[in-house]
Amino acid sequence: MKYSDKIRNIAIIAHIDHGKTTLLDSLLRQSKLFRDNQDIPERVMDSFDQEKERGITIFAKHTTIPYEDYKINVIDTPGHADFSGEVERILGMVGSVLLLVDAQDGPMPQTRFVLSKSLALGLKPIVVINKIDRPSADPDRVLNETFDLFTELGATDEQLDFRYIYASGLSGFAKKTLEDPSTDMTPLFDLILEATPAPGGEVEEPFLMQAATVSYDDFLGRQVTGRIVRGVVKKGQTLIHINGDGKATNFTVSKLQGYLGLKKVDIDEALSGDIVIISGLPEEATIGDTITDPRKPEALPAIKIGEPTLSVDISVNSSPFVGKSGKHVTMNKIKDRLLREKKANISLRIEMKDEVDKVTVAGRGELHLSVLIESMRREGFEFSVSKPRVIIKEEDGVKCEPVERVYIETPEEYSGKIIEEISLRKGEMQHLSTSEHGITKLEFLVPTRGLMGLRGDFLTMTRGLGILTAILEGYTPWKGNIAGRTKGVMISGCPGKTNGFACFNLQDRGVLFVKPGDEVYEGMIVGENSRDNDLIVNVTKAKQLTNVRASGADENIILIPPRQLSLEQAINYIEDDELVEITPAQIRLRKTFLTENERKRKEREVKN
């Protein structure tokens, strides 16, 4: 038996929150990788801080589970559409995918997206009907809906004859039929071994591998992870790196690592079919590059990744509070950090333009960009971010913009408001249906511009009971102007510290973003005006004190709590003449030009 016959490479794909990481937790726990008394956190694969806080997977991660005398390499993938680039690039490494479908919700929009990608690559998915122990689960209906989805996506006869299993990742059991006892994950382990083809590849042939994941180590330099297509690799071996332009560079393998459970382990050699980490590559090595043997150099086809749809400008923080909480404030530091991100994150596009004071960063969506911005903020960077812009294409001389297919589930009484709001944002309804339980399902085609800021309004409109998912559909001719923010802002007219007296007098004018005791500067946005014009206010004005005693006590001041904007909300809230000031301690909104004179001068220049 060949070595690769004992290897199975598989990825877990699903819609967001259908239980990928929880199911993998159960597989890891039952694989005897951990001691009985070892403390294992929930969602153990979500090791990145933001993944734990947001409750979602952001980066694809590798693990290896030993089962009997087999080695199962498992890749946990994100379920959110903004991180679909992570899914696209790792599917070429695996022999099959576990497609998780919620036993209550059934196939969801992102299920369709990840399934279409895997079917296009010729993979034969294993369907896992997860969460079958939920009170309202209906596994039979969900299985039929999943089969219908396979048919709709043009699956081949062989792909339509998919294997399936029922499971509960949280309770830690899987079973082939609903009547079987609920014991452990053994049926799922056995099904993976049966239904996933061995990776193949001849050990005697010269070495060949494609980089699917890229990382950087301060001591080891550039590292790439990928599946060995054929041959053997050893520590200290000389190989050739071929980039996307066909340029070949010799290098020596300084370190070779594999996975065991959650850990990286040093190994001396690896054979075809295995997933390994190779260190010592040239600095410019990136995802999709080929690593091959000098005896038979061969370049593999590049990995195709969907293009970004939104971009923001990142510039130095020019506010009076610059450097108060951040360590890295210069443009050189910001550029170095973004260049490091560009090497590891293939779905981001980072452009250093002629302007010395800003960098344009393009990504898949607001969440994709905000994860990068939040990471930099936590690393001690200070900078300013512009309003997101959609990336325009020209097709046959026609100006085109990205359009997204939006799926909405909401209680019936809120559907009218939603239809009205999305119509104002140039959305076109494609489908509407209401179930006997009073849940309305809506489907729209909406320009990406129209989706900016919609999620916050959507949660307000549906009292938090609605679900909204958007997936890029393609490009459509420019839809014309879309109304932006309908209200103006309150701008601080002077620097200082806010106080309760000024806040109390201003709260009738709109909604404040600051509380008493906050430091403000001229040009900083301190609230939302109740009207459509911008208003310059003095939020630092204190009550006039006299030495004359009043006959009655001062009136009791009752302040409305200020509106706290999250990073995504702040980026969506601003207009073209405004910026979000990002610091490790605070997120502030400001006008691009801080003084009233500068703003008026700019207005006159635009008119002329």
Rg (CA), the chain: 27
| Domain 310-390, classified CATH 3.30.70.870, yes or no | yes
Residues of the chain with CATH 2.40.30.10: 208-292
- The reply to whether 131 sits in an annotated binding site is yes
For residue 102, pLDDT beyond 80: yes
Residues of the chain with CATH 3.40.50.300: 3-195
User: Mean per-residue pLDDT for 338-349?
Assistant: 77
Q: How many residues does the chain have?
A: 608
Residues of the chain with CATH 2.40.50.250: 489-607
- The reply to whether 18 sits in an annotated binding site is yes
Closest CA to 43 of 17, 67, 15: 17
- The reply to whether 399 sits in an annotated binding site is no
Identify the weakest region by mean pLDDT among 258-262, 550-554, 568-572.
Answer: 550-554
Phi, psi at 110, each rounded to 5°:
-70, -25
The structure tokens listed for 426 are: 């140039």
- The reply to whether 22 sits in an annotated binding site is yes
Identify the weakest region by mean pLDDT among 15-24, 68-77, 282-291, 544-553.
Answer: 544-553
Closest CA to 94 of 159, 211, 10, 6: 10
First to last CA, the chain: 79
- The reply to whether 21 sits in an annotated binding site is yes
Q: What is the pLDDT of residues 292-334, one digit of tens each?
A: 888 888 888 877 767 788 888 988 888 888 888 888 888 888 8
- The reply to whether 133 sits in an annotated binding site is yes
Among residues of the chain, what percentage have pLDDT more than 90? 1
> In CATH, what number does 208-292 get?
2.40.30.10
Helix (H, G, I), strand (E, B) or coil at 2: coil
For residue 437, pLDDT beyond 50: yes
Q: Across the chain, what does the average pLDDT equal?
A: 82
Distance of CA 271 to the CA centre of its chain: 33
User: Mean per-residue pLDDT for 479-495?
Assistant: 84
Q: What is the pLDDT of residues 189-243, one digit of tens each?
A: 888 888 888 887 778 888 888 888 777 777 777 888 888 888 888 888 888 888 8
- The reply to whether 226 sits in an annotated binding site is no
pLDDT at 106: 83
Q: What is the pLDDT of residues 48-93, one digit of tens each?
A: 455 455 555 555 667 888 888 888 888 877 755 555 556 667 777 8
- The reply to whether 184 sits in an annotated binding site is no
User: Mean per-residue pLDDT for 536-548?
Assistant: 78
Residues of the chain with CATH 3.30.70.870: 310-390
pLDDT at 182: 80
For residue 263, pLDDT beyond 80: no
Placement of tokens 């307000």 in the chain: 460
The CATH number for 393-477, chosen from 3.40.50.10800, 3.30.70.240, 3.30.70.20, 3.10.20.30, is 3.30.70.240
Residues of the chain with CATH 3.30.70.240: 393-477
pLDDT at 280: 86
pLDDT at 434: 85
- Name the more confident of 46 and 176: 176
Kindly indicate the confidence band of residue 37, based on its pLDDT and cuts at 50, 70 and 90. very low
Identify the weakest region by mean pLDDT among 163-167, 275-279, 343-347.
Answer: 343-347
Placement of tokens 């560079």 in the chain: 249
Kindly indicate the confidence band of residue 46, based on its pLDDT and cuts at 50, 70 and 90. very low
> In CATH, what number does 489-607 get?
2.40.50.250
Pairing of strands 238-242, 248-252: antiparallel
Fold held by 3-195? Rossmann fold (3.40.50)
Helix (H, G, I), strand (E, B) or coil at 488: coil
Helix (H, G, I), strand (E, B) or coil at 467: strand
Closest CA to 382 of 588, 98, 84: 588
Residues 402 and 400: their CA atoms lie apart, in Å, by 7
Among residues of the chain, what percentage have pLDDT more than 70? 89
Helix (H, G, I), strand (E, B) or coil at 195: helix
